């Protein structure tokens, strides 16, 4: 039986929840969903410059879980940019601090 997921601590929800290519209507685009906990991992590591151990501690998770979140987030953002998809930020396993 797998271990239950721990809630990830998120300090800031994103101000916007959708990014899309300019000039294309939203209804014509495929969409990739970036979870809020993945967004928070990117914010802590890439925007604020924390190392992975410190960022993981702030989110209340292990460093390996943080690394997986960060890898998934970067892959989703890369796919959205390269394939021209809309990127929606919502959901995930988190609690606001």
The pLDDT tens digits for 32-64 are 999 999 999 999 999 999 999 999 999 999 999
Assigned CATH class of 24-91? mainly alpha
State the Cα–Cα distance between residues 5 and 61, nearest whole angstrom.
10
Find the DSSP H helices in 1-97: 36-42, 52-59, 63-83
* Nearest by Cα to 45 from 77, 81, 80, 1: 77
Q: What is the pLDDT of residue 11?
A: 93
Place 22 in a pLDDT band, splitting at 50, 70 and 90.
very high
| Average pLDDT for 5-32 | 91
Q: For a pLDDT cut of 70, what percent of the chain falls above it?
A: 99
At 30, is the secondary structure helix, strand, or coil? coil
**Cα 55 to Cα 30, 35, 67, distances in angstroms:** 31, 17, 10
Q: What is the pTM of this model?
A: 0.90
Dihedral of CA 92/12/52/62: which sign? negative
Q: Please tell me the predicted confidence (pLDDT) of residue 4.
A: 73
Mean pLDDT rounded to a whole number for the chain: 94
Higher pLDDT, 22 or 2: 22
Radius of gyration, CA atoms only, the chain: 14
């Amino acid at each position: 039986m797998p271990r239950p997921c721990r809630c990830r601590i998120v300090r800031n929800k994103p101000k916007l929840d959708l990014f899309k290519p300019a000039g294309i209507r939203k209804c014509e685009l495929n969409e990739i969903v970036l979870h809020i906990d993945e967004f928070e991992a990117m914010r802590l590591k890439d925007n604020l410059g924390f190392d992975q151990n410190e960022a993981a501690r702030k989110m209340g998770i292990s460093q390996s879980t943080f690394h997986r979140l960060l890898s998934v987030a970067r892959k989703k953002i890369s796919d959205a940019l390269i394939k021209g998809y809309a990127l929606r930020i919502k959901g995930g396993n988190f609690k606001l601090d």
